[in-house]
């Protein structure tokens, strides 16, 4: 009788150990899968932020270029921005530091 109890308890412990090992293994695999998914989501988020930063940089450059564009009565005369008002010409900037230009772009923002 004692032998049967011993073997029954031993079998029960082995089954219990096997079940616990399987649950542990599934937990480790599940944790690894969750960590992989979290790292994938982090990469996607970083890519999204990078694209957004690039868009903001392009928009900033576009705005800066638009602020340098000569408009209306502004002309580039001899490499200096001049405002033409009828027969009156006035230079933008100061005498010692005029706003220089090339084509239709000033060397610095003028508005």
- This prediction has a pTM of 0.54
Distance CA(1)–CA(106), nearest Å, equals 104
Domain ranges of the chain: 1-68, 71-111
- CA dihedral of 4, 10, 14, 17, whole degrees rounded to 10: 140
Q: Which of 21-30, 49-58, 91-100 has the highest mean pLDDT?
A: 49-58
What mean pLDDT comes out for the span 1-17?
82
In sequence order, what are the beta bridge partners of 101? 106
What mean pLDDT comes out for the span 37-42?
86
Residue 80: per-residue pLDDT: 92
Q: Which residue has the tokens 């705005």?
A: 63
In sequence order, what are the beta bridge partners of 74? 83
């Amino acid at each position: 009788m004692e032998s049967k109890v011993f073997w029954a308890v031993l079998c029960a412990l082995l089954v219990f150990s096997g079940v616990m090992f399987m649950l542990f293994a599934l937990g480790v695999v599940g944790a690894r899968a969750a960590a992989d998914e979290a790292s994938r989501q982090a990469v996607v988020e970083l890519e999204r932020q990078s694209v957004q930063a690039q868009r903001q940089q392009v928009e900033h450059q576009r705005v800066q270029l638009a602020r340098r564009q000569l408009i209306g009565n502004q002309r580039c005369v001899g490499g200096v921005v001049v405002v033409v008002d009828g027969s009156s010409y006035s230079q933008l900037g100061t005498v010692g530091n005029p706003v220089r230009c090339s084509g239709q772009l000033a060397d610095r923002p003028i508005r």
